[in-house]
Every structure is written in C-alpha cells, then in structure tokens.
Structure 1
Amino acid sequence: MTQTENIKLTLIKMLDLIKLSDAKDWEGIIEPFSYELLDKPNETKREILSLYRGMGSLNDLTLHKDGYPLKKENEEFSFLKRQLFDLCLKDL
C-alpha cells in the first residue's frame, strides 16, 4: 500500500469515528482531504498538518456523544491522529 493510500485509509477511519460522535463539524473539515489527496498529495498533506496547530486544533478534539466522552473511540482516534501526522510529515 502506498503512503497516499495509507493516509486516505487513516482519514476514512477517522471519519467513521467522528460520525459516531457529536463532532460533526470536523467531518466537513476532514472529508474533503480524502478526495484532494489523489490530485495534489503534497499540498493536501501540508493542509492536513496545519490542522494540528493552535487552539481548537485536531490535537484538542475529544469525541463525545450526548455529553459523554467515547472512551474506546477516543483511544483509537488518538492513535489515528498520530498516525496521520506521521504519514503526512514523511517525505515532505
């Protein structure tokens, strides 16, 4: 599997978890990257990396549903966030 395919798969897994939560606004932010990645991979990777900066960033996102944190989903989501960051940083 190529690096681009791994990034796309990671994004899709993250979207699946986001859809289980009340963080629907992040769905609209992350989903377009899975399509743009094939047309402009380096630019898309840089845009993804920019999500990790500042207050209210992807780093700060904790998945909740009806006011309760999703423990198992947050553990997987944290792993996927780190994986996505590492994949996007590689070869830039």
Structure 2
Amino acid sequence: MLNDSDAVLTRMIELLRLGAFDDWAIALEKIKMDFDRDPKYKSSQLLSMYGGMGSLNDVVLYKNGQPLVAESNEFDALRVQLYEICKTLA
C-alpha cells in the first residue's frame, strides 16, 4: 500500500509541476518525504486537502493558457486512487 502511495504521489507531483501548480507540488512533496514513517498521520493530512474551495479537488492543469485535458484526466484518476489509499490507512 505504501509503495502505491509513493508512486501515485510521485506522478501527481510531476503533473502538478507540468501545470505550474508548484505550491501543491511542494505540499505533496513534503508529505511524501516521510509518508512511510507515519502513514496514518500523513494520510490524514492528505485527506484534509480534499475539501472546500481551492482544494486538491479543484485542480485543473493548464499550460500556456491551454487546458491539459489528458493530464488533468490522469491527475483526477490519481487523486481518486490516492484518496482511497489514504482512507484505508487513516
């Protein structure tokens, strides 16, 4: 399960950087760094990013003013996968 979260977070961070969401990328990198040390706490932190205005749920990736449709769809699928992993661990 932890390997899954690492792979999902790694790809989400890559996509966030591609879409110039550096603040979100940094936030996920901080959680990813020591996720395996305290997965329950880190899962709770991640789950708190999933609600309200400006949350992780609102991210749509753009580059040069153009929506990145395939990348946004991939990000959405990863976001759902990460949510399910975190619900299991929290």
**When the two structures are aligned, how many residues end up with a matched partner?**
90
Separation in 2, partners of 1:89, 1:36 = 18
Partner-residue secondary structure (3-state), 1:38: coil
C-alpha deviation, 1:91, in angstroms = 4.0
* 1:88 corresponding residue in structure 2: 86
- Gaps in structure 2 of 5+ consecutive residues: none
Separation in 1, partners of 2:68, 2:89 = 33
Letter in 2 for 1:85: Y
* 1:78 corresponding residue in structure 2: 76
Q: 2:43–2:89: 8 Å Cα contact kept in structure 1? A: no
- Gaps in structure 1 of 5+ consecutive residues: none
TM-score (norm 1): 0.92
Separation in 2, partners of 1:17, 1:61 = 11
- Measured against aligned partners, the alpha-carbon deviations of 1:29-63 in whole angstroms (never above 9, x if no partner) come to 11111112011110000000000011100000111
* 2:52 corresponding residue in structure 1: 54
Segments ≥4 residues shifted beyond 2 Å? none
Separation in 1, partners of 2:39, 2:52 = 23
User: In percent, how many aligned pairs have the same letter?
Assistant: 33
TM-score (norm 2): 0.94
Separation in 1, partners of 2:48, 2:23 = 17
